[in-house]
C-alpha cells in the first residue's frame, strides 16, 4: 500500500503503520513467480515495492513503539497493543481482563495448532464472543500463553469478526508442574528467554504480525521453583525493553508474591507494572494488602456462582479501604478444551457472570456507577497501557 510521507495526526499514523504491517503478513512476499521474463520483471518490481514498504513499516513501527514508550511520561495518550495493532487506551471501553478462548492442558511443551482444528474452535467460540460484544464490552483479554493454546492468527480472525478488541501475550506458563515450559527455557538464561519475548514484541508472534499486549508468567503452588523465578526475571527484563505489563498466575502462593515483589525491586521495575493473577484465591483482603500497598494490580478473576461471595466481599473491602483503582475483575472463563471431544461444550463457562450478576449486586451494595466505570474501564486501561514503569 502507498504510504504518505507527510506527518498526519497521531492516530491516523498509527493506523497507517499498522495497515502496512498487516500487508506483509502473508507468504505472497516469498512465493515463487512464473518464469516469463515480463512477468518476472513486473513481479520483481511489485516485490521491490512490498520490500520497501516492509522496510518502511519496520522503521515506522520502531518509531511508533518509541513514541508509545515515551507516552507514559510525556502526557501523550496511553496506547494498548491489540492483536490488530495499537489503539488508544481510551478506546478500550468495558473490558474483561482475564479470559480464555482455548486451552491445551494435555499438550505440554508440544502443544500447538497441530493438536486442534482452528475452524472447530472458531465455530465453538464465535457466538460466545458475540454475546460479550452484545453485553456492551469492547475489549477481551486472552490470557493463554504459548505452549498452552495461544493462537495469534485465530485470535485476530475472531477479533475482526466480532468487532472486539482482543489482546494476546508473550511469556511461558510455569504452573502445573512446569509441563508447558519449553525445553529451551530450562537451558537458557533469563536474558536469553527475554530476548525471545522481546523478539515477539518487535516482529510478531509465530510468523504473524500480531504482537503481544502483555507478558504472562506463572508460579506453581508450594515452594518457589528456580524455573518460575527465572521466567519472572525474564518478564522483568522484557518489561524494561517493551513497556508490556506482567501478568503472573500466582493464586494464593504468598511466598511467590514475596519473591515477585523482591525481583521487581532488584530489577528496578515498579510493582504497578505487575498483575497478581487469581489473587481472589487468597480469600482475605489482608492477604492482598502488601501487594496493594506496593502499588500492584490485584486480579479478582474467578467470578462464578461458587465464588461469588468472595469476590463481592473483596471488592467491597477494596472500596472501603480506598484500593478500588487497583482491582481488575474477570471470570477466567471459557474455553475450548483441546484434546477433548468437540472441545467439551458441556464444561464451557460463559463470560457474562460479571455483567449479569456481579455488577448489579455491587450497585445494590453501595458502589456507584463511577466505581463500576473505574473497575471495568479505567483500571484495565491503566493496567495494560504499554509504557515502561521503573521503580522510584
Q: Return the C-alpha cell found at 48.
A: 521491490
Question: Min. distance of Cβ 50 from Zn ion in angstroms?
Answer: 39
Strand order in the sheet with 297-300: 169-170, 214-218, 246-249, 274-277, 297-300, 327-329
Spell out, one character per residue from 342 to 381, where the chain touches Zn ion: x when CB under 5 A holds, - when not: ----------------------------------------
Asked whether the bond before 206 is cis by omega within 30 degrees of 0, the reply is no
DSSP letter string, 353-386: HIIIIIHHHHHHTT--HHHHHIIIIIHHHHHHS-
Task: Please say which residue, 18 or 104, places its beta carbon nearer to Zn ion.
Answer: 104
Supply the minimum distance, in Å, between the C-beta of residue 335 and Zn ion.
9
Contacts of 186 (CB under 8 A, 6+ apart): 227
Part of the chain binding Zn ion (CB under 5 A), chosen from 108-116, 179-187, 193-201, 326-334: 326-334
CB of 249 to Zn ion, least distance (A): 7
Contact between 8 and 16 under an 8 Å Cβ cutoff? The reply is yes
Smallest separation, CB 371 to Zn ion (Å): 25
Name the residue nearer to Zn ion (CB basis): 243 or 334. 334
Closer to Zn ion by CB, 200 or 301: give it: 301
Contact stretch for Zn ion (CB under 5 A) within 18-26, 108-116, 328-336, 345-353: 328-336
Count CB-CB contacts under 10 A for residue 270. Answer: 17
Residue 228 touches Zn ion, criterion: CB under 5 A = no
Binding window for Zn ion (CB under 5 A); candidates: 50-58, 116-124, 327-335, 382-390: 327-335
Binding flag, residue 99, Zn ion (CB under 5 A) = no
C-alpha torsion angle, residues 287, 288, 289, 290 (rounded to 10): 90
* x-or-dash string of contact with Zn ion, 51-90, rule CB under 5 A: ----------------------------------------
Residues 137-156 contacting Zn ion, CB under 5 A:
143
Nearer to Zn ion (CB atom), residue 144 or residue 238: 144
Closest by CA to 144, choosing from 129, 157, 154, 134, is: 154
DSSP state of 269: B
Listed in sequence order, the DSSP H helices in the chain are 10-23, 37-74, 118-134, 152-162, 183-187, 190-203, 226-242, 254-267, 285-294, 308-321, 353, 359-364, 369-373, 379-384
By beta carbon distance, the residue nearest Zn ion is 332
Report the alpha-carbon distance of residue 348 to residue 128 in Å, rounded. Answer: 10
246, exposed or middle or buried, with CB in 10 Å at 0-12, 13-18, 19+? buried
> Of the two residues 16 and 101, which places its CB atom closer to Zn ion in the complex?
101
The reply to whether 332 sits near Zn ion by the rule CB under 5 A is yes
Q: How far is the CB of 377 from Zn ion (least distance, A)?
A: 21
Crossing angle (nearest 10°) for helices 37-74 and 190-203: 110
Distance in Å, CB of 103 to Zn ion, minimum = 8
Question: Nearer Cβ to Zn ion, position 233 or 332?
Answer: 332
User: For Zn ion, which is the closer residue by CB, 218 or 385?
Assistant: 218
Q: Of the listed pieces 64-72, 150-158, 235-243, 332-340, which binds Zn ion according to CB under 5 A?
A: 332-340
Contact residues toward Zn ion (CB under 5 A) are: 143, 332
Amino acid at each position: 500500500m502507498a504510504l504518505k510521507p507527510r506527518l498526519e495526526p497521531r492516530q491516523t499514523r498509527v493506523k497507517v503503520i499498522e495497515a502496512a504491517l498487516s500487508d506483509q503478513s502473508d507468504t505472497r512476499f516469498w512465493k515463487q513467480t512464473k518464469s516469463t521474463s515480463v512477468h518476472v520483471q513486473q513481479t520483481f518490481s511489485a516485490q521491490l515495492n512490498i520490500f520497501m514498504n516492509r522496510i518502511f513499516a519496520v522503521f515506522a513501527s520502531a518509531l511508533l513503539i518509541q513514541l508509545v514508550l515515551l507516552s507514559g511520561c510525556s502526557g501523550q495518550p496511553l496506547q494498548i497493543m491489540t492483536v490488530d495493532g495499537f489503539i488508544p487506551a481510551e478506546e478500550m471501553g468495558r473490558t474483561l481482563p482475564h479470559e480464555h478462548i482455548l486451552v491445551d492442558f494435555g499438550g505440554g511443551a508440544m502443544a500447538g495448532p497441530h493438536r486442534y482444528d482452528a475452524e472447530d474452535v472458531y465455530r465453538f467460540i464465535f457466538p460466545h464472543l458475540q454475546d460479550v460484544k452484545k453485553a456492551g464490552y469492547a475489549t477481551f483479554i486472552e490470557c493463554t500463553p504459548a505452549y498452552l493454546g495461544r493462537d495469534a492468527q485465530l485470535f485476530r480472525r475472531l477479533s475482526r469478526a466480532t468487532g472486539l478488541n482482543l489482546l494476546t501475550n508473550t511469556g511461558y506458563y510455569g504452573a502445573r508442574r512446569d509441563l508447558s515450559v519449553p525445553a529451551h527455557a530450562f537451558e537458557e538464561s533469563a536474558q536469553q528467554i527475554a530476548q525471545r519475548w522481546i523478539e515477539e514484541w518487535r516482529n510478531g508472534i509465530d510468523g504473524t504480525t500480531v504482537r503481544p499486549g502483555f507478558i504472562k508468567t506463572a508460579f506453581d503452588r508450594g515452594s518457589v521453583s528456580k524455573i518460575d523465578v527465572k521466567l519472572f526475571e525474564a518478564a522483568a527484563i522484557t518489561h524494561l525493553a517493551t513497556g508490556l505489563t506482567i501478568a503472573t498466575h500466582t493464586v494464593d502462593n504468598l511466598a511467590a508474591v514475596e519473591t515477585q515483589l523482591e525481583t521487581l525491586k532488584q530489577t528496578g521495575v515498579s510493582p504497578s507494572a505487575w498483575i497478581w493473577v487469581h489473587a481472589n484465591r487468597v480469600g482475605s483482603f489482608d492477604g492482598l494488602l502488601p501487594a496493594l500497598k506496593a502499588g500492584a494490580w490485584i486480579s479478582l478473576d474467578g467470578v462464578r456462582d461458587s465464588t461469588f461471595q468472595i469476590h463481592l466481599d473483596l471488592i467491597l473491602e477494596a472500596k472501603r479501604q480506598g484500593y478500588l483503582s487497583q482491582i481488575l475483575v474477570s471470570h477466567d472463563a471459557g474455553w475450548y478444551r483441546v484434546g477433548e471431544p468437540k472441545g467439551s461444550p458441556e464444561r464451557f463457562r460463559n463470560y457474562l457472570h460479571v455483567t449479569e450478576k456481579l455488577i448489579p449486586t455491587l450497585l445494590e451494595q453501595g458502589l456507584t456507577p463511577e466505581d463500576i466505570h473505574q473497575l471495568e474501564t479505567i483500571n484495565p486501561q491503566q493496567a495494560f497501557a504499554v509504557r515502561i514503569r521503573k521503580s522510584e
